[in-house]
Amino acid sequence: MRPFNDAFDIFISGEAHTVDLADLIVQLKIDPVDIGDDLREQPGRFAWVAVIAAQADFEAGRIKQSLAAVRATLGKELHSANVGKDRNDRLTEAGIDERVTTDERVLDLVDDHAEAARRAAILAGLREAYRQRRDMLNVIGYSTRQRESAET
């Protein structure tokens, strides 16, 4: 059973990687009978999740900066267009703000930023889950060693 179905591409060093969140969530499961494989694979899994979480956060920030730049450029263009116009023909600050806010490029970037921020938040949560998984593996490993040493 796949608890969550969301896959997307993320670019790391110019190379596209498909991130399947359902697979990452399923990989959080620990086999309590034989944790050897889990202990060996945990550092690599955590590193991968940490890298994609950092990249997702970077992409959300990049889109946020692009959005701010587009808003500033549009605002500047509209202010420049206002210079020299008759008082009745000028746009008010509210009118300029409304045009900037409803511009198609701004709306597209707002949607892109919301999606990128959602992915970054999910991946940050997964990164924390993998940290907790590491701690749980350590506890299980310690308990197993204690139990085995008590039996001998």
pLDDT, tens digit only, all 152 positions of the chain: 444 568 888 888 889 999 998 899 889 999 878 888 999 999 999 999 999 999 999 999 999 999 999 999 999 999 998 887 777 788 888 989 999 999 999 999 999 999 999 999 999 999 999 999 999 999 998 888 888 888 87
Residue 125 lies in a domain: yes
Residue 1 lies in a domain: no
Q: Based on the structure, what is the number of domains in the chain?
A: 1
Cβ–Cβ under 8 Å, residues 24 and 129: no
pLDDT at position 90, please?
84
Tell me, what's the pLDDT at 13? 86
Structural domain span for residue 121: 53-143
Q: Is residue 28 domain-resident?
A: no
Is the CB of residue 2 less than 8 Å from the CB of residue 26? yes
Tokens of 57: 């956060």
Predicted TM-score of the model (pTM): 0.80
Residue 41 in domain: no
* Residue 86 falls inside a structural domain: yes
Q: Is residue 45 part of a domain?
A: no
pLDDT of residue 141: 87
110 within a domain of the structure (yes/no): yes
Residues 66 and 106 sit within 8 Å (Cβ to Cβ): no
What pLDDT does residue 4 have? 54
pLDDT at res. 1 = 42
CA angle (22 as vertex; 19, 27 as ends), nearest 5: 95
In a domain, 151, yes or no: no
Q: State the Cα–Cα distance between residues 118 and 121, nearest whole angstrom.
A: 5
